[in-house]
Amino acid sequence: MPEASPARPSRRMPHPRAAAAVLSCALLLGTAACASPDGDAPRASTAAPSAAATDQPIFASDEEALAAAVEAYEAYSEMSTRIASEGGTNPERITEVVSENAASQLVEEFEALAEAQLRTTGTTNVYGARLMSWEQAGEDTTVSAYFCRDVSGVRIVNASGADVTKPRTSDVSALVATFVVRPDDPSKLIVEDTEPWSDITFCE
């Protein structure tokens, strides 16, 4: 996992242009963290469950762990797109697909979007999922996976319907997402964190 952690956005509601920049970054990376930490090429190695793990692992194989991560990330991406396309209204809906820690930052981003009267159009294409690792220790399970995201079809518009999308260096980005089990359903995962991944060669 990269050591750098996502920078938290300011609590002061930004100018519409600043909000557009924040949203552009969030759409590209999955969080407001725009600085790309160093990263090695993706690897599909899997950490075996620790000795403290239960006798019945939550996943029977790497494939099951990756499938659960993909399902969780797609749910997160779909909900994020829905909220952003509706101008950031009812941002608390994101708590359905992310952990409490992740929700606090995302809610702030959507509130800034609503304050700036911006919304999005289009959808993000998520592809190229690869398992990084998964580990189970007792009741705690953590899964990390790489994803590619293409936001070429996503635009940001203002209250008048004008396109105010900030120019992007690239429409395609790589990220590593970390997942934990849902508090109400240990068989499902939710997003705990996402960070940009500097090596996007596996997305090409």
Dist. CA 147–CA 166, nearest whole Å: 23
Burial class (CB in 10 A: 0-12, 13-18, 19+), 43: exposed
187 pLDDT above the threshold of 90: no
What is the structure's pLDDT at 55?
Answer: 56
pLDDT score, position 140 = 87
Kindly indicate the confidence band of residue 204, based on its pLDDT and cuts at 50, 70 and 90.
confident
Domains and CATH numbers, the chain: 16-197 (3.10.450)
Q: What is the pTM of this model?
A: 0.77
Q: Residues for the chain: how many in total?
A: 204
Taking only the tens place, the pLDDT of each residue in 93-123 is: 999 999 999 999 999 999 999 999 999 999 9
Band (147; pLDDT cuts 50, 70, 90):
very high
Give the tens place of pLDDT for each residue, 14-39: 444 555 555 544 544 344 333 334 44
Mean pLDDT, rounded, of the chain: 80
Q: Which residues contact residue 4 at a Cβ distance below 8 angstroms, ignoring those fewer than 6 apart? A: 33, 35, 37, 195
pLDDT in tens, 38-83: 444 455 444 444 434 445 788 999 999 999 999 999 999 999 999 9
Q: Is 67 exposed, middle or buried (0-12, 13-18, 19+ CB in 10 A)?
A: middle
